[in-house]
Amino acid sequence: MENPLIPPLNFSMAAPGIYRSGYPNSMNHAFMKKLRLKTILYLCPEEYSESNTAWCETNGVRVVQCGILPNKEPFQFIPDDVVADALRVLLDRRNHPVLMHCNSGKHRSGVVIGSMRKMQQWSLTSIFDEYRRFAGSKVRILDQQFIELFRVDTVKYDKRCAPRWLK
């Protein structure tokens, strides 16, 4: 095989037009090209890698960065407004297909997807089940608490451009 298709760590389709994963590397680029991405939503505060930046430029993929610091005891908490910013990117179908990722595709991605699930009116039991499936043994109670307390009515987005699955 010349270019094997290798998805990034923890890759999954979250909804039509929205994919989630861990940090992609050059081995994942052939797979990512098949997705025909328009946007990458990068959830970490660190600068994006040179190889991913170059790949995005070559393939016409826009990178949007919403730098989220992870929830960690005792004093580091995810700000609501940064999650709302990330959701605005996901909820605008003009950005689709979009790949949203953090480092491992577990915690920050889990918080954003969990918050999106609240907007879809999923039950908290279903939201936490999905979060735990990706987090594995590394579940963070603070992430689940964030999702539970997140106020979806504070997310302002263009409803005319919302994906059909949200309406």
Q: Could you tell me what percent of the chain has a pLDDT over 70?
A: 95
102 catalytic? Reply is yes
Flag whether pLDDT at 1 surpasses 60.
no
Mean pLDDT of 18-32: 97
**Structure confidence at residue 74 (pLDDT):** 64
CA distance 150 to 29: 34
Q: What is the pLDDT of residues 44-101, one digit of tens each?
A: 999 999 999 999 999 999 999 999 887 666 666 788 999 999 999 999 999 999 999 9
**Structure confidence at residue 72 (pLDDT):** 67
Could you say which of 56, 66, 102, 161 is catalytic? 102
Flag whether pLDDT at 128 surpasses 60.
yes
Burial 119-149 (b: 16+ CB within 10 A, else e): beeeeeeebbebbeebbeeeebebbbebbee
Q: Where are the domains of the chain?
A: 12-154
Phi/psi at 61 (5° precision): -100, 125
Confidence of residue 24 (pLDDT cuts 50, 70, 90): very high
**Structure confidence at residue 2 (pLDDT):** 72
Q: What is the pLDDT of residues 131-158, one digit of tens each?
A: 999 999 989 999 999 999 999 999 999 9
**Structure confidence at residue 70 (pLDDT):** 74
Calculated CA dihedral for residues 131, 136, 140, 141, nearest 10 degrees: 70
Mean pLDDT of 97-126: 97
Flag whether pLDDT at 41 surpasses 70.
yes
CA distance 114 to 120: 10
Beta-bridge mates of residue 42: 65, 101
**Structure confidence at residue 3 (pLDDT):** 72
Residue 118: which residues within 8 A CB-CB, separation 6 or more?
127, 147, 150, 152
**Structure confidence at residue 130 (pLDDT):** 97
CATH class as words, domain 12-154: alpha beta
